[in-house]
């Protein structure tokens, strides 16, 4: 096994050409086997095996800086930097992350997870290098999908006229998670079919020169025009016109060609973009055939490519998908928007039924939100389905373009709460805090699958900005007996007792219910309230509850800071209600990757920890009351 010879960074440089070929095959085999067991990003990683090897042959680690956009394709890089053993615990709690992490290795130059950041980060590294008088290489690798994100253009704009070397590798596989979209994608398709720039230029010059009598003159005249012969013949003028040298396109599975172009790129004294063509899923037939399915699969059977676990109850996303399609059938004003996540958000069904009312705008959450605002201002009813962590990208657009004008945009906030194995960059635990502080915003969250449907219908009919927040995974099928109509600003009282009131947000229903049952078994009297509206707060109910309860316990899967619980606490203080408040939620720290149940235990969002906390609070309260008497 050649792979056994790679124990640390730069070991790859000891291999001969034949061994490099073997290594590529072994890496693919290794990735397929490991990911089939742990789950993870497969297709993107299979596509960049030779590209990563060539970069490792060109660069010196950790001195040179390699920045992966999104970072989901960094598995070969991890293998080549001595992290082979980490793949047994890939994405598990305490195990190796599925993304680059500076704390994991000095060879990971920059933490990523969200797309389109690599060119900005690379430029920062270049500027630091110049200011500190250093001379290492800086390389950012960005996919064609990630090149649909606005930040990438802001950075390219900035990279123009750079006075020192900065290599941008465009890993073009013609795919985002699903098919890539938009004008840049089309432009790249054109380039893909062009021959490598240098070959082409020479070929055309030779042909022109052969024109009898006038050939040499034509060539020299063209050379005298503004940008010379390039203007007419060179692919990549979009980049060239910004003074970013374009090299390529080059076959991303041919190590020899890659080495040649990277060595050429290192000699450029400004920004250079190397256009590399790769195949997503390369080397594993099921992934080559359906790269979207193998973008981030769970464990699967290698022979058939079929997932190991399938079936089970509908996920919240599936409920959303069905209900929105149904709503779309009845109301032709309803339009749906995704930022490159048609499958993940469940909008693929809406897209199939109403292609003209569906918009995939690319990985462009900021644009998606303002686009939704425009649609709403223009008389449509837009629903923007987006993962909680990616919604962070569209904050100012939510505040400045949607809410300021009080436009009826529905934000379907999927993957809210802990998402698990994708880790810190993907946990959706901030949205309650950052959304509820915006004027005109309404925030609701369903307790089970039926309420999900009711809330979505409510949201589409609502004439103002509204966010419906729901988690990854199976929709809760308990509490079916509670289905009071959704009423603006009103919570839902499920069990009315006294002393302790447990008030939960959305999918914390199951935990809250089990906490209540445990408390009751120990002899406590406990009410259970489904908040439904995180904004506006049902202050009337809080006033009522304060009359015969001494302890409010709020439960939410969101950071405590600025979350639902703090707002309840704030109201209790301001209204001087005679009740103690305990907030249960995510502490003020980033939550790493791992199984969601494990993460809940780690963050104190499990039954045992909550019950213990509530009992301690209650006993202390009683003690204090006695002292007071």
Ligand X SMILES: Cc1ncc(C[n+]2csc(CCOP(=O)(O)OP(=O)(O)O)c2C)c(N)n1
Residue 310 tokens, joined = 């399938």
The span of 173-181, 191-199, 376-384, 546-554 binding ligand X (CB under 6 A) equals: 173-181
* Among 24, 70, 402, 466, contact with ligand X (rule: CB under 6 A): 70
393 makes contact with ligand X (CB under 6 A): yes
From the CB of 604, what's the least distance to ligand X, in Å? 28
Residue 545 tokens, joined = 């509850």
From the CB of 217, what's the least distance to ligand X, in Å? 45
From the CB of 479, what's the least distance to ligand X, in Å? 32
The span of 169-177, 185-193, 197-205, 553-561 binding ligand X (CB under 6 A) equals: 169-177
State the Cα–Cα distance between residues 262 and 76, nearest whole angstrom. Answer: 18
From the CB of 385, what's the least distance to ligand X, in Å? 12
The residue among 44 and 388 lying less far from ligand X, judged by its C-beta, is: 44
* Among 40, 122, 143, 465, contact with ligand X (rule: CB under 6 A): 143
| Pairing relationship of beta strands 492-495 and 526-530 according to DSSP bridges | antiparallel
* Residue reference for tokens 């999908």: 145
Q: Hey, which residues between 282 and 321 contact ligand X (CB under 6 A)?
A: none
Q: Is 561 helix (H, G, I), strand (E, B) or coil?
A: coil
Q: Is 84 helix (H, G, I), strand (E, B) or coil?
A: helix
From the CB of 41, what's the least distance to ligand X, in Å? 7
81 makes contact with ligand X (CB under 6 A): no
* Among 76, 146, 315, 317, contact with ligand X (rule: CB under 6 A): 146
* Among 34, 65, 72, 507, contact with ligand X (rule: CB under 6 A): 72
Please give the DSSP secondary-structure letter assigned to residue 582: E
Residue 38 tokens, joined = 């742990």
**Residues 325/300, Cβ–Cβ less than 8 Å:** no
Residue in 326, 366, 324, 371 with CA at minimum distance from that of residue 346: 324
**Residues 517/565, Cβ–Cβ less than 8 Å:** no
DSSP 135-166: ---EEEEEETTGGGSHHHHHHHHHHTT-SS-E
Catalytic residue among 393, 472, 535, 600: 393
Catalytic residue among 50, 365, 492, 566: 365
129 makes contact with ligand X (CB under 6 A): no
**Residues 91/422, Cβ–Cβ less than 8 Å:** yes
Q: Hey, which residues between 30 and 49 contact ligand X (CB under 6 A)?
A: 44, 47
| Max intra-chain CA distance, the chain | 112
Q: Hey, which residues between 195 and 234 contact ligand X (CB under 6 A)?
A: none
The residue among 36 and 44 lying less far from ligand X, judged by its C-beta, is: 44
Please give the DSSP secondary-structure letter assigned to residue 342: T
Phi, psi of 36 (to 5 degrees): -65, -25
Residue 282 tokens, joined = 């390369």
Residue in 152, 239, 236, 156 with CA at minimum distance from that of residue 201: 236
* Among 10, 73, 97, 245, contact with ligand X (rule: CB under 6 A): 73
Please give the DSSP secondary-structure letter assigned to residue 179: B
From the CB of 51, what's the least distance to ligand X, in Å? 10
> Any catalytic annotation for residue 365?
yes
From the CB of 105, what's the least distance to ligand X, in Å? 21
Q: Which residues pair with 344 in a beta bridge?
A: none
Phi, psi of 515 (to 5 degrees): -65, -45
Cβ within 8 Å of residue 29, ≥6 positions away? none
The span of 131-139, 171-179, 321-329, 483-491 binding ligand X (CB under 6 A) equals: 171-179
H, E, C per residue of 442-458: EEECCCCHHHHHHHHHH
Q: Is 558 helix (H, G, I), strand (E, B) or coil?
A: strand
281 makes contact with ligand X (CB under 6 A): no
Per 3-state DSSP, what percentage of the chain is helix, strand, and coil (rounded to 5)? 45, 15, 40
444 makes contact with ligand X (CB under 6 A): no
Q: Rounded to 10 degrees, what is the CA torsion of 556, 558, 562, 564? A: -20
* Among 2, 107, 175, 452, contact with ligand X (rule: CB under 6 A): 175
- Rama region for 521: left / alpha / beta (φ>0; ψ in -120 to 50; rest): alpha
**Residues 168/273, Cβ–Cβ less than 8 Å:** yes
* Among 78, 253, 279, 280, contact with ligand X (rule: CB under 6 A): 280
346 makes contact with ligand X (CB under 6 A): no
* Among 177, 191, 452, 511, contact with ligand X (rule: CB under 6 A): 177
From the CB of 329, what's the least distance to ligand X, in Å? 28
144 makes contact with ligand X (CB under 6 A): yes
Catalytic residue among 83, 279, 280, 532: 280
* Among 98, 100, 145, 248, contact with ligand X (rule: CB under 6 A): 145
Quick note: the x/- pattern for ligand X over 525-564, rule CB under 6 A, is: ----------------------------------------
Residue in 188, 180, 168 with CA at minimum distance from that of residue 237: 188
From the CB of 339, what's the least distance to ligand X, in Å? 6
The residue among 339 and 572 lying less far from ligand X, judged by its C-beta, is: 339
| Pairing relationship of beta strands 466-469 and 442-444 according to DSSP bridges | parallel
The residue among 94 and 190 lying less far from ligand X, judged by its C-beta, is: 190
Question: Vertex 598, ends 594 and 600: CA angle to 5°?
Answer: 110
From the CB of 80, what's the least distance to ligand X, in Å? 18
The residue among 2 and 363 lying less far from ligand X, judged by its C-beta, is: 363
340 makes contact with ligand X (CB under 6 A): yes
Quick note: the x/- pattern for ligand X over 87-126, rule CB under 6 A, is: ---------------------------xx-----------
Cα 92 vs. chain centroid, distance in angstroms? 18
The span of 25-33, 86-94, 129-137, 172-180 binding ligand X (CB under 6 A) equals: 172-180
The residue among 107 and 361 lying less far from ligand X, judged by its C-beta, is: 361
From the CB of 545, what's the least distance to ligand X, in Å? 40
From the CB of 382, what's the least distance to ligand X, in Å? 18
The span of 141-149, 193-201, 230-238, 555-563 binding ligand X (CB under 6 A) equals: 141-149
Cβ neighbours, 10 Å, residue 624: 11
Mark 119-147 as b/e (b = at least 16 C-beta within 10 Å).
bbbbbebbeebeeeeeeebbbbbbbbbbb
The span of 137-145, 162-170, 242-250, 317-325 binding ligand X (CB under 6 A) equals: 137-145
Q: Which residues are catalytic?
A: 280, 365, 393
Task: Give contact residues for ligand X (rule: CB under 6 A).
Answer: 44, 47, 70, 72-73, 114-115, 143-146, 171, 173, 175-177, 280, 339-341, 363, 365, 390, 393
């Amino acid at each position: 096994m050649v792979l056994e010879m790679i124990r640390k960074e730069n070991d790859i440089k000891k291999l001969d050409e034949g061994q490099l070929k073997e290594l590529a095959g072994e890496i693919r085999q290794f990735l397929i086997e490991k990911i089939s067991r742990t789950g993870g990003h497969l297709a993107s990683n299979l596509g960049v095996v030779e590209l990563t090897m060539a970069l490792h042959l060109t660069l010196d680690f950790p001195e040179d800086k390699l920045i992966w956009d999104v970072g989901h394709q960094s598995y070969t890089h991890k293998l080549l930097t001595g992290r082979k053993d980490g793949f047994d615990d890939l994405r598990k709690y305490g195990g190796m992350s599925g993304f680059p992490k500076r704390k994991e290795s000095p060879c990971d130059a920059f933490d990523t997870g969200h797309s389109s950041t690599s060119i900005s980060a690379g430029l920062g590294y270049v500027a630091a290098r110049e200011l500190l008088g250093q001379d290492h290489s800086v390389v950012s690798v960005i996919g064609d999908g990630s090149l649909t994100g606005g930040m990438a253009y802001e950075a390219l704009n900035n990279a123009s006229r750079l006075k020192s070397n900065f290599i941008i590798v465009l890993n073009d596989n013609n795919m985002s998670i699903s098919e890539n979209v938009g004008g840049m994608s089309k432009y790249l398709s054109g380039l893909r079919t062009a021959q490598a720039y240098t070959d082409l230029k020479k070929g055309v010059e030779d042909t022109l020169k052969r024109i009898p009598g006038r050939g040499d003159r034509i060539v020299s005249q063209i050379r005298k025009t503004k940008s010379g012969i390039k203007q007419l013949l060179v692919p990549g003028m979009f980049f060239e016109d910004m003074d970013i040298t374009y090299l390529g396109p080059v076959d991303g599975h041919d190590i020899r060609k890659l080495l040649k172009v990277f060595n050429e790129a290192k000699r450029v004294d400004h920004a250079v973009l190397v256009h590399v063509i790769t195949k997503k899923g390369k080397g594993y037939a099921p992934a080559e055939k359906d790269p979207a399915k193998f973008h981030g699969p769970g464990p699967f059977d290698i022979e058939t490519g079929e997932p190991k676990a399938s079936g089970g109850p509908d996920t919240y996303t599936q409920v959303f998908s069905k209900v929105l399609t149904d709503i779309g059938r009845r109301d032709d004003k309803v339009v749906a928007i995704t930022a490159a996540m048609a499958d993940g958000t469940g909008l693929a069904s809406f897209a199939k039924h109403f292609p003209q009312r569906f918009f995939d705008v690319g990985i462009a959450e900021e644009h998606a939100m303002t686009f939704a605002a425009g649609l709403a201002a223009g008389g449509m009813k837009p629903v923007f389905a987006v993962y909680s962590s990616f919604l962070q990208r569209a904050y100012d657009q939510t505040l400045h373009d949607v809410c300021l004008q009080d436009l009826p945009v529905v934000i379907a906030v999927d993957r809210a709460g802990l998402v698990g194995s994708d880790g810190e960059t993907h946990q959706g635990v901030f949205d309650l805090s950052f959304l509820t502080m915006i004027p005109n915003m309404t925030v609701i969250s369903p307790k089970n699958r039926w309420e999900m449907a009711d809330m979505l219908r409510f949201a589409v009919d609502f004439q103002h900005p509204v966010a419906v927040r729901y988690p990854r995974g199976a929709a809760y099928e308990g509490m079916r007996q509670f289905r009071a109509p959704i009423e603006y600003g009103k919570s839902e009282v499920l069990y009315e007792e006294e002393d302790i009131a447990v008030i939960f947000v959305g999918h914390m229903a199951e935990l809250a219910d089990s906490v209540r049952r445990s408390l009751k078994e120990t002899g406590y009297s406990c009410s259970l309230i489904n908040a439904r509206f995180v904004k506006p707060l049902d202050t009337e109910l809080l006033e009522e509850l304060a009359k015969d309860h001494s302890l409010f316990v709020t439960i939410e899967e969101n950071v405590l800071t600025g979350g639902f619980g703090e707002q309840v606490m704030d109201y209790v203080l301001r209204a001087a209600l005679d009740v103690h408040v305990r907030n249960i939620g995510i502490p003020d720290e980033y939550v790493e990757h791992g199984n969601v149940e494990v993460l809940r235990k780690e963050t104190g969002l499990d039954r045992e920890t909550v019950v213990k906390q509530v009992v301690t609070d209650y006993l202390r309260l009683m003690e204090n009351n006695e002292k007071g008497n």
